[in-house]
Amino acid sequence: MKNTLHFMYLFHIPILLILNHSACSHRTPASEASNNFTPEHIQKNYKMVWNDEFDGESIDTGKWNFRAEGTVRYFATVDRKTIGVDGKGYVHILVTRDEIGNYYVGQLGTQGKFETCFGYFECRAKMNRSIGPHVSFWLQSPDIAKTGDPQINGTEIDVFEYHRKTPDVVHHNLHWDGYGADHKTTGMQVPWPGIEEGFHTFGLEWNKNEYVFYVDGKETWRTTTAVSHRKQYLILSTELTGFGGNPSEGTFPDTVTFDYVRVYKPLH
């Protein structure tokens, strides 16, 4: 049986009302979408092994943890009350500011519930609208803090990152060797006019030799750098780090909306 948590009230604002308002006029679930942006070779040669279509009325806690709960990250506190499923097939992760100027963000992660190595990873999402937040779908290793060989310790794999500081750009990034003095990173900024409008599909094909990134079914970056051979977990997140601009210039609440997350493995 699916484990669930129900909607809660966020800083005197009924989160259910916010989520219904953001979704009511844009419902185009993947099952009804006119375009399937999963690459053709994935459709033919892979099978789905894990997914969440967010078609219930609450977060499936058999699949997801409320990640980093209560921690302060840069400008914001991570709080589960920023996250909710609207009963229409979407999960919304908000960025909010309360009446005294405190910011709150949300993160979902599969650590300890679903961790895997290699495959094809895909989400369908609608971007945030405000300066300040940046939103992400990414994979993380339990040993990311270790330095040495990323094949053994793992690599932070940002399938996509987006923020309004560069409104027509999708970011793909890799991070390894911890987040201290030895930290290393590489990435690709992909111009994508109109990315802030409607839903878009973001994919990662990860095998023992390389990463291949996709936006709306089109290959956008291929790299053999820092390829992890370690089981990793999935994360959906909003953050206020300054990477997306000064949050004092933003308009809140802001939200990123996810239609689904899916993981595929080769048939053979």
pLDDT tens digits, 106-121 = 999 999 999 999 999 9
- Domain presence at residue 175: yes
Q: Which residue has the higher pLDDT, 151 or 9?
A: 151
- Domain presence at residue 261: no
Specify the DSSP element, H or E, that contains 10: strand 9-10
Tally helices (H) and strands (E) across the chain.
Answer: 3, 23
- Domain presence at residue 206: yes
Domain count, the chain: 1
pLDDT digits (tens, 9 = 90+) for 53-63: 999 999 999 99
Parent domain of 78: 34-247
The domain that holds 162 is classified in CATH as 2.60.120.200
pTM (two decimals): 0.90
- Check pLDDT > 80 for residue 132: yes
- Domain presence at residue 51: yes
Q: Mean of the pLDDT values across residues 204-220?
A: 99
Specify the DSSP element, H or E, that contains 13: strand 13-14
- Domain presence at residue 219: yes
- Domain presence at residue 21: no
- Check pLDDT > 90 for residue 11: no
- Domain presence at residue 141: yes
- Domain presence at residue 23: no
